[in-house]
Amino acid sequence: MKKTLLMFALAAVTAMAGEWKGTISDAKCGAKHADASEKSMNCVKGCVKGGSAAVFVTEDGKVLKIHNADAVTEHLGHKVTITGKVDGDSVHVESVKM
């Protein structure tokens, strides 16, 4: 029982909390829209409206899925700073600043 609890505790610690700068893009285009130009913003909004998932592109070009995409709908295509928890290739967004 103690070993099982310890394993769950260690698994919970693997999620990294922090703050990152980057761009909100879409899964179809990913890092192509990291420049946050007006053209890129319009494309991201169109792709998300068409069903593509919103993603977060870090400053170093890593593309992360967003667990709670509703937290970023007002920031599609924008350069932002997010606070949240990264777990593998996904992020749970707690707050977004422009």
Q: Examine the pLDDT at 11 and tell me if it is beyond 90.
A: no
Predicted TM-score (pTM) of this structure: 0.83
The pLDDT value given to residue 10 = 47
Domains with residue ranges and CATH for the chain: 16-97 (2.40.50)
Backbone φ, ψ for residue 7 (5° rounding) = -65, -40
pLDDT tens digits, one per residue of 25-79: 999 999 999 999 999 999 999 999 999 999 999 999 999 999 999 999 999 999 9
Structure tokens given for 68: 């709670």
- Bridge partners, 66 (sequence order): 91
What span, in angstroms and rounded, lies between the C-alpha atoms of 34 and 61? Answer: 8
Structure tokens given for 10: 């260690």
